[in-house]
Amino acid sequence: MDVTPPEPPALLPGIDVPAVEAWWTGRVAGGAAPLAFARIAGGRSNLTYRVTDAAGRVSVLRRPPAGAVLESAHDVLREARIVGALASGAVPVPVVLGVCDEPTVTGAPFYVMDHVDGAVLHDDAAMLAGFAERDRPTVARSMIDGLAALHDLDVDAAGLGDLGRREGYVARQLDRWHRQWEASRTREVPLIDEVHARLSAAVPEQQRVSIVHGDYRLGNVILGPDGALRAVLDWELCTLGDPLADVGYTLAWWVGADEAATHPLGRGPSSVPGVPGRDVLLQRYAGATGLDVSRIDFYVAFALWKIACIMEGVRERDLRTRPDEAPPETQVPALVESALRALGG
């Protein structure tokens, strides 16, 4: 996990240090001020901070990004509820230590969870540095086994049966992200509408109602030195729905070495020697869950289109707030072209 050194309060976006310290000492068991904050890098979604208290205990604080956000995005209170509900189940998650629903403390709600030690594989360099080639198949197995375990959970027994509507997940997601695209578009990308129409006309029948993570990839899990899954992170897009949407999303991010040079998502942790390909993951998942994965190409296409819509939202926000760091102009169009190819177009 990439962690910046502790920063002075003036350089901590979204953190009112004295106010958070006052809240922390009264609400987090054993918490003791002063607190040292360090931004955890990776992704451009919720702000995530590593927090070390006066006793040396390390925790993690999550809050929405500063400034305006897209409708329904970055609901950290909902995320905290999901993580808390999963804490005693088969899917490893951090322990929630405290929740603040009062935005006056530091400008937005936030929650605190235990820090889980391990590797977060944001890129190929992290995989190369963290795992020998012989251990990389274990990383892949742990990753897909965790997803299968999540999808096998009884949503009612987990206390999450009211998390969302159970049927019609993909159709609703297509509508949601198309609306988000319209709200955040910065230019014309005609294929967005074309691929949306093709996906909407060919939605497979949903086989099962599962807890769907919504952003399940190597950059959102913590792995032990043996490659075992220690924690699944970033539950802000989680709801109930079609489990194969998660599988398609995971496979969309699983860029192999032979395609990394031309894939719009570029090289990633799956692009190094020794990492099994998508077909190995898919077969293992199908064997664990018993689901029919014959139409996985649809779900991969849907994932690539969804990623394009999300990245356009990120691009719009960055053009407003930090234009020098905005994503490349070509990435979103290239993602939609890849989605079209996955559909056979």
User: Could you tell me which of 242, 244, 220, 243 has the C-alpha nearest to residue 232?
Assistant: 220
Q: What is the per-residue pLDDT for 110?
A: 96
- Say which residue, 12 or 114, is predicted with more confidence: 114
**Element of type H or E holding 330:** none
Q: How far is CA 130 from CA 127, 140, 231, in A?
A: 5, 14, 16
The tens digit of pLDDT for each residue in 277-295 reads: 999 999 999 999 999 999 9
| Short-list 141, 166, 137, 138, CA closest to 287 | 141
Question: Which pLDDT score is estimated for 324?
Answer: 78
Smallest CA-to-CA distance from 248 within 208, 179, 307 is with 307
Looking from the CA of 187 toward its CB, the CA atoms found within 13 Å total 13
Number of residues in the chain: 345
Give residue-wise pLDDT tens across range 133-159: 999 999 999 999 999 999 999 999 999
Domains of the chain: 9-114 (3.30.200.20), 124-342 (3.90.1200.10)
Give the pLDDT confidence score for residue 50 in this predicted structure: 95
Looking at residue 43, its pLDDT comes to: 47
Is the pLDDT at 69 greater than 60? The verdict is no
Cα–Cα dist 196/179, whole Å: 11
Residues with Cβ within 8 Å of residue 138, at least 6 apart in sequence: 131, 226, 227, 228
* DSSP letters spanning 189-218: -HHHHHHHHHHHTTPPPP---EEE-SS-SG
Whole-number pLDDT of residue 71: 44
246-258 b/e with 16+ CB inside 10 Å = b? bbbbbbbbbbeee
Does residue 15 have a pLDDT over 50? yes
Residue among 171, 220, 162, 168 nearest 196 (CA): 171
Better-scored residue on pLDDT, 237 or 320: 237
Residue 274, H or E segment: none
pLDDT in tens, 173-209: 999 999 999 998 888 999 999 999 999 999 999 999 9
Cα–Cα dist 232/221, whole Å: 4
3-state secondary structure of 230: strand
Report how far residue 298's alpha carbon sits from residue 244's, in angstroms, rounded to the nearest whole number.
Answer: 10
pLDDT at 88: 82
- Determine whether 63 is exposed, middle or buried from the number of CB atoms within 10 Å of its CB (0-12, 13-18, 19+): buried
Share of the chain above pLDDT 70, in %: 93
d(CA 223, CA 15): 28
Q: pTM for this one?
A: 0.91
User: What whole-number distance in Å separates Cα of residue 112 and Cα of residue 117?
Assistant: 15
Summarize pLDDT for 286-344 with one digit per residue, the tens: 999 999 999 999 999 999 999 999 888 888 878 888 777 766 788 999 999 999 999 99
The pLDDT value given to residue 44: 55
Sorting pLDDT into bands at 50, 70 and 90, what band is 345? Answer: confident
Whether the Cβ atoms of residue 260 and residue 267 lie closer than 8 Å to each other? yes
The confidence score (pLDDT) of residue 89 equals 86
pLDDT value at residue 318: 80
What pLDDT, on a 0 to 100 scale, did the predictor assign at position 140?
98
